[in-house]
Structures are given as structure tokens and as C-alpha cells.
A and B are shown apart, each in its own frame.
Chain A
């Protein structure tokens, strides 16, 4: 009897939350629909994510992730090899699909670390003010003084070349923007009446930051993050291109473009297809980010 009651309770809980999620999604999608380009972006991203997650199970030449078959090298695109083969005989189509997974992994991990560092520092700096604010903002300024990609390259080159170095380097380069953003929002929000009322009821600083300040900052942060995902994937590809990011034989798009450069005149398919993959992915994130920005902050429309 008790089991049946718990079972029904669980069912109710799932159904109720599913309905709430669907209702919220429906609202967001309605607003997104107003902007055709952002829908295009959403489609492109979804495509990218599905390929990244499920592609590896359906690739035609799964073994080409790691092995080579030199007798098949530099074959042009055909019905057997949609994107041709590269200089080691590996199917480019397979590697492009596998590369999607690599890029997604880098993107998600890098942006998570970036947001964690950036948001925490921004909220602490904005809420507590004083010399804590000064120290954090001056450190932020130091990082912002360097051009983005150069700083990432320098950090990645200093560390052992590899994917983890690339992720670390990107996170250490991208966090200052989030700190600035969240600090600005925090400065406004900490003077809001409901924060004052909460304090008067006994709330401590951690509660106010986590419950009142951060949830109200989420809008611009999400917009920034969706635009940044594209740039982070591009940065990871750039690091791979110059050789301080992903190392062979990892199927990473930037690395593939780099190796394809040598053969570009005769076997251009080696570089073109990974390059186009980078292009469409970054474009998709850009379009989606623009659409989200229009939802969260309609005043920033330039039209």
C-alpha cells in the first residue's frame, strides 16, 4: 500500500514538473520564434549537439578514430568516403563527426569553469565591496589587458600541450568578462528593497548572494555564455591549429585544418570540411545568442 502511494506520488511529481518545464519552454520558444535567425541558430546548435552526442555510434568508419590505413590516403570525396580521406587514410567524415564531440566537451567544460570562477568572483566583489572589490577588479583588469586569444595561447603553450591544457587556458582567459558583468548586476541588486527586507529577517550574506542576487543576474550571463560557447569552440580550434591544444591523433577540428593546410592545393577536402564545421557551429551559437539577448534585454536591439 505504502509502495503504491509512493509510486503515485513520484508519478505526480514527474508529470507536474514536466508540465511546468513544457509550459516554460513553450513561452521561450514562442518568443524565439519571433526572430527567424535565432531559430536557425537553435536548429544548427541542436544539430551540432545531436551529432556530438550520438554521432559516434553511427559513424561509418569507427576505427578511424585512432587507426590509420595508409593505402587509402588522400582519396577524394566519394560515396564510400563522403568527405574523402586524409593523409593517413582516415575517413574525414567520421573524424568531423567525432570532432563535434571533442568540441562540445571542450566547450562545456571550459564554459563551466569560466562561469564558476567569473560569477563567484563577481558576486563577492560586488556584494562585499571595499578592498575585496578592489583586489578582485584589479586582477580582472590585468587579465583583460591581454588580447584574448594570445593569452590563451600563451597559457596553453606554458602548460603541457593537450586538451586539458586547452580547456584550462581558455577558462583562465574568459572569466574576467563574467566577473565584470556579475559585479555590475550585484551592485544594483544589493540595494533592492527585497534584499533589505531579507536582511531585516536575519538572512546572512551567503543566502542573499545565492538566493537574491545570483538568480537575478542569470539573464545577461546566459546571453553571454551562449555567445561565448561559439567563441570558445573557435578558440579551442585555434589552439589546436597552432598545436598547443588537442594533439594528434585526437580528431579535433582545428587540428584537422592545421594538418590539412599542407595538402590544401591538391586535397582541399581535408581542411575544408572541418573548417566548415567550425564555421557553422560558431555561427549557430552566435545566432542563438543574439536571439536570447533579444528575449532577455529587448532594449539592446539595434534595429
Chain B
């Protein structure tokens, strides 16, 4: 079956004065059509950089991405020129960001910005574009779409602006939607609404990549999950497999750290330590300095993602040994 997104051994390095920062150091995954993939990880694990490298939107003078394979619907994204990229941004791949208020221009009305985005990709006049914009606003559940078009961003709340951003990114019906921590800046009730919205809109795009540090969100709407740490993938598979039967010690630690509502006593469990520097990552398994069950070989040899059950991959010596 034709996969929506094929990523093999994607690496993104940043050239800095102190050296080369290996933000993403060889990740591979595949996204089927209609699937929602959640990329989970701590702050600094490289999730946002990974998503932006797939989209090729990082500044080309400092970020260098290479991969053995980076294909969207069969099209190789690595060999696209800048002008080709401008055609696919918004039309084939769209991205929504974390803080909705910062990512919208405060000087222009919602309708103007939405119709401009639509007219980048379709050759239609302003009236038609506004009609499509109003339909998209209705789709994301905004009350009174026609009058919302005339509002300015400061007249709407955070949740509504995030819906507007979702509407903007879906207006050209992209094949892949990347959501980079879309609900982190919103309160919990609005978060639930936005997640439900993303779930309802799954038929509008062929695939969604959801980036978050909140595992509960991933459990809510994702089919597949990939756990990222220090630029590498530690575990990936279906949500049921990874969350209910976590194999990697890091995943287990993350899940243990979620506070439970049913009268949990005692101190909160957490994963001690910090993410290693991306300039000089440790040899062997990147997680071994913090791992409670590390073996001596973990400090020398890097574990490879191996399949331990159908479509469930783990990169851990202890798991693959047993």
C-alpha cells in the first residue's frame, strides 16, 4: 500500500560556533494514509526540529538536513528547490504552532488573512476565497463564520484563534498536517475542544503528526506513537502497544510520571537527570546515563530499533536481549 510519508534516517544538524548540534540524529518512521502519529518527548528532544525538517522549513544557511529517504506521497522532498517548496507549503504540508496569538498578524482581519492564504494556492478571486474561508470557519466550529471574518485577532480568544489557524492550514486541503504542541498554550477545557476538533477533521487530510510532551493527548487521538529522546527514536508502534505495554525504560518512566487521580500516595515518580547536550551526545545509548536498568554494554554500543512484536519497535539492549 502506498504510504503517505516515508522517513528513513533523517538527520538535521545545525552549524554553530561551538560545533555541530545534532538536533535530529537518524530517525525513521512511516505514516499511513488516515493515520495520526504522535511524536512524544521531553523539551529539547528534537521533536519540533524533526517536524520542521520534514517540512524543509528550517533556514537553509544554518540547518542541514539529510535522509536516506524523505518522501511524501511518493514525492522526494529532499530534492525540491525553494520555489517548489513554496508550492507545497500550505498545499501539501501544513503546520500549526503552539502560541496562536503570536502566529497571526495583528494588523489584518481574519477574513483577509485567510483569503490571502487560499489565494496563494488557488487562482480564485477574493469573493470566492472569502466564501471558502467562511466554510472552513464553519467546519472548525466557529459560531457566526461570516462576521468572524471581519474581526481582528485581538478581538478573539486564544482557543478561537487556534481554531482559525487550524482552519487556515486546512483551507487548501493538505495531505499532511503537522501540529506542533497545538494545545500547550490553552487551558484544559479548550484543549479538549481542540483535540476533539482535530479528531473530527481527520478526514480532511490524509495524515496528522501531533507533536507533544503530553502523553495523555497522544492517547486521546493518535493511532501510532513515536517516543523521541535526544534526537533519536527510542520506541515506536501503535498507541495500544506502546502505552499499555511500554518496553523501553524511558517510556515506562514517562508513563509512571503521570500523576493518577485515584488516590495515589507518596512522592511523584519521575525520571531523574536531564537530556544530554546535543553538541556532545554520550556514546552508546543516549538514555543510558539516566536509565535505572542500564547494562554495561549500553554505554558503548548504540541500540537499534528492533521489532519485538508486530509493528512495535524498541531501541534498547535490555529488551532485545531478553
What total of A-B pairs shows CB separation below 8 Å? 59
Contacts A193-B97, A193-B99, A197-B97 known; A203 to B120 CB distance under 8 Å?
yes
Interchain nearest-CB distance for B249 vs A (Å): 36
Name B88's closest neighbour in chain A (CB-CB): A202
B308 within 8 A of A: no
Give chain B residues whose Cβ lies under 8 Å from the Cβ of A198. Answer: 105, 117
Bound Cα distance from A194 to B108, whole angstroms: 12
Interface size class of A (residues with CB under 8 A): 10 to 19
How many residues in B have their beta carbons less than 8 Å from beta carbons of A? 27
Q: Which residues of A contact B102 (CB under 8 A)?
A: 192-194
List of B residues within 8 angstroms of A200 by Cβ: 55, 57, 89-90, 94-95
* Apart from A199-B57, A201-B89, 19 more pairs, CB < 8 Å: A193-B103, A194-B102, A194-B106, A196-B57, A197-B165, A198-B117, A200-B55, A200-B90, A201-B94, A201-B117, A201-B120, A202-B117, A202-B121, A204-B86, A207-B120, A211-B105, A212-B105, A215-B107, A216-B107
Centre residue among A193, A200, A211, A212 by max chain B CB count within 10 A: A200
The residue in chain B whose Cβ has the minimal distance to the Cβ of A215 is B107
Contact mask B152-166 → A, CB, 8 Å, 1/0? 000000000000010
Q: CB of B169 within 8 A of chain A?
A: yes
- List the 5 closest pairs (A to B, CB-CB), nearest first: A202-B90, A201-B90, A193-B102, A197-B103, A202-B120
B104, CB-defined interface residue at 8 Å: yes
Q: Closest B-chain residue to A197, C-beta based?
A: B103
> Is B256 part of the contact surface with A, judged by Cβ < 8 Å?
no
B193 CB–A CB distance under 8 Å = no
Interface of A is mostly: helix
Interface residue ranges, A against B (CB under 8 Å)? 192-194, 196-204, 207, 211-212, 215-216
B123 to chain A, nearest CB (A): 13
Bound-state CA distance A216–B105 (Å) is 10
Q: Which of B7-62 contact A (CB under 8 A)?
A: 55, 57
| Contact partner, B103, options A196, A202, A216, Cβ 8 Å | A196
**B residues 48-93 in Cβ contact with A at 8 Å:** 55, 57, 86-91
The CA of A203 and the CA of B103, in the complex, are separated in Å by 14
Find residues 141-190 in chain B having any chain A CB closer than 8 Å to their own CB.
Answer: 165, 168-169, 172
A202 touching B91, Cβ below 8 Å: yes
Nearest B residue (CB) for A203: B120
